[in-house]
Structure 1
Amino acid sequence: MKSSYFLSSLLLAMTLPNTPSFAAETSTMDNTCQSQVLLPALFHPSTENITVYEASTRYSTTPVQMGYGERKVKVADAYVIYETVPATFSEVTETIEVERERVEVTTLPATYRTETKRIKVKDATQRWNPICPAVATNEQAVPAHCLLSVPAEYTEVTREVVDMPARTVKTIIPAPTETITRKVVVQPAKVIRKEIPAEYRMVKLAKVDQAPKVTSTQQNARAQAIPSQQTLRPERIIQRPALCEATVNPATILKLQQRLQQGGYYQGTPDGVLGPKTRAALTHFQEDNQLASGAITLEALQKLQLQ
């Protein structure tokens, strides 16, 4: 679609009667400024031969040819081994005393009981009644009321009385025993002598019937033509006259969008606004036509037949 852009733009210019008036309008209403733009690099198609397979020497080997035979070879000498037959035992269970029987004597101390006993400490007596007058000696007897009885005096004594006297007790401690199991030799150990004969084996022997051979062949190099681009001119920043974006007429932008849309660069509805979509479409058009990009240059307008 882009390759046929110039033919379609030429036909469009023939069918648009207002193209000259628009060119006149841009020249009278839009101001031009010197803008810094990027002039793209210029390349020339070329072909470069690249070696894809270097020359080398290939070697091939004919393996060695072997012949085989057999030979009886002793692989183990004869020898004598001695086998030990261990002794056999039987188990005998016995009960043995581990300590002798003994008599232990235990001494038991005396036991006491407590008892209380009443003891008379003073006999009963008589004392003279102080209210009685004196009795003459010639009188026959002393009146009974003149003698007062004084009872005997007692006291209580607490004492420890032997209830059971001290004694000794004999106790017989029986001898403790332990049951043990011991092994008794039934048949003693013995040694048996055994001769082991030598061992032989048939071994396959190899010999070289034909030695290996190495042959070499030369492999030629191979090259491939690779399409390339030869740089005729590097990209650089230059100054070119362009429309001043601060004062550009929206009608100019609208016409620019329409021409870019006709060439397949601008996607969307033309609105006369210089936005990212318009800048990207213009840059794409300038790169495809080897024009300087970065501004609405006059040469781009001329290429679009807008000036």
Structure 2
Amino acid sequence: MKIIHFSVSLLTATVFISAPISAEPAAQDAICASQVLAPALFRPSTEAVTVYESSTRYSTTPVQMGYGERKVKIADAYVEYDIIPAKFGEVTETVEVERERIELETLPATYRTDTKRIKVKAATQRWNPNCPAILTADNNSAENCLLTVPAEYTTVTREVIDSPARTVKRVIPARTETITRKVLLEPAKAVRREIPAVYTSVKLAKVEQPAKVVTTQQLAKTQAIPVEQTVRSELVIAMPALCEASVSPATIEQLQQRLQQQGYYQGTPDGILGPKTRTALTQYQEAHSLASGAITLETLRKLQLQ
């Protein structure tokens, strides 16, 4: 905590109280240099918080198949004879009608909800309204009259990646057909007669264009959170104020009436500088960013009492 000291001379003023509220303190009200708490200064700002992380998306173009035909010989040509016919046997053969291929499958990214606390205002200190005014000479008593105001936080909910997008390969096996054909075991004898070969058409499937994976980048999303940046921390300084030991009840009553008009003092003005008056004075000073802890001339000017 930084304490700034400066010296002031004692001032006296002569006034004539002709109404319940006068323009300045009574003549017997002396001026003292009292230690007060100058409030911290803040300025509004914003902070960008990521609520949706960037991710990669995948999309696939399916494989394009082409179909055609293939002639397969199922019986060889042979020669027959009228006397001794030819002898044949059967052969079983496996023919590939669809080739093996690879298909790609994309699985999208999954997200989970995450909660993050953001500090929007730093912790500060305020003057305890129950403490009396402290003279400049008593430096150590000022710290006992400071109350800690905790920092302020806000909660931001964001979506973060739980598992990234990925691509899964799937192998499609080849497809085959079993064909039985005749083969010549023993040719015919005697009268020769040629028997031509026999063919059949088999449909074939082939990959004309393989599957493709297209990658796109999903940009991150941010949210602007209003925060208050500390320009200057609170300071304990010495300022001119009314000496509470000799302040007149008339001046206190004027102060109570002004605070009552502003909505801070509750009750009937009695000219007594008690806890209720100190609390109302401190609330007014904090609401108008004035130094708190004493009846400062700065506060009196703000209340149009000087």
Shorter-chain TM band:
0.3 to 0.5
Q: Which structure is larger by alpha-carbon Rg, 1 or 2?
A: 1
TM-score, normalised via structure 1 length: 0.43
Specify which structure has the higher proportion of helix.
1
TM-score, normalised via structure 2 length: 0.43
